[in-house]
Amino acid sequence: MSTLNEITYDLLSVLRDGGLNIKDDEGVTLRQIAFWVRGARASLIRQQLSKRQSISDNIVQTLSCLDVSQIDASTCCDFTTDCYIVRTNSRIPQVIESNQVDLITKVGPMHVSERGYTLIPYARAPFWGSSMFNKDRPAAFLHDGYVYIMNSDFIDKISVQGVFEDPTELATFNNCDSVPCYTKDSRYPVSAHMIDTMKKMIIDTNFRVMLQANVDKTNNAESSVTPQAVNGQ
Report DSSP letters for 5-43, one per residue. Answer: HHHHHHHHHHHHHSSS---TTS---HHHHHHHHHHHHHH
- The span from the CA of 26 to the CA of 213, in Å, is 11
The domain limits of the chain are 4-54+189-211, 61-172
Q: CA-CA distances (angstroms) from residue 67 to 143, 154, 158, 199?
A: 16, 12, 7, 37
Query: What is the reported pLDDT for 117?
Result: 93
Query: What is the reported pLDDT for 22?
Result: 60
pTM: 0.82
- The span from the CA of 176 to the CA of 149, in Å, is 20
Query: What is the reported pLDDT for 231?
Result: 45
Q: Does residue 151 contact residue 73 with C-beta atoms inside 8 Å?
A: no
Question: Would you say the C-alpha torsion 148, 153, 157, 163 has a positive or negative sign?
Answer: negative
Q: Which amino acid is at 80?
A: T
Query: What is the reported pLDDT for 76?
Result: 54
* Half-sphere exposure for 68 (CA within 13 Å, toward CB): 29
Query: What is the reported pLDDT for 194?
Result: 94
Closest CA to 66 of 151, 128, 145: 145
Closest CA to 157 of 63, 82, 74: 63
- The span from the CA of 15 to the CA of 10, in Å, is 9
Q: Three-state SS for 71? A: strand
Per-position pLDDT tens, the chain of length 233: 799 999 999 998 887 776 555 655 456 788 999 999 999 999 999 999 888 888 899 999 999 999 999 988 766 555 556 678 999 999 999 999 987 789 999 999 988 778 899 999 999 888 887 777 777 788 999 999 999 999 887 889 999 999 999 999 999 999 989 999 999 999 999 999 999 999 999 999 988 887 776 555 555 555 554 444 434 44
- Per DSSP, the residues of 135-167 read TT--EEEEETTEEEEES--S-SEEEEEE-BSSG
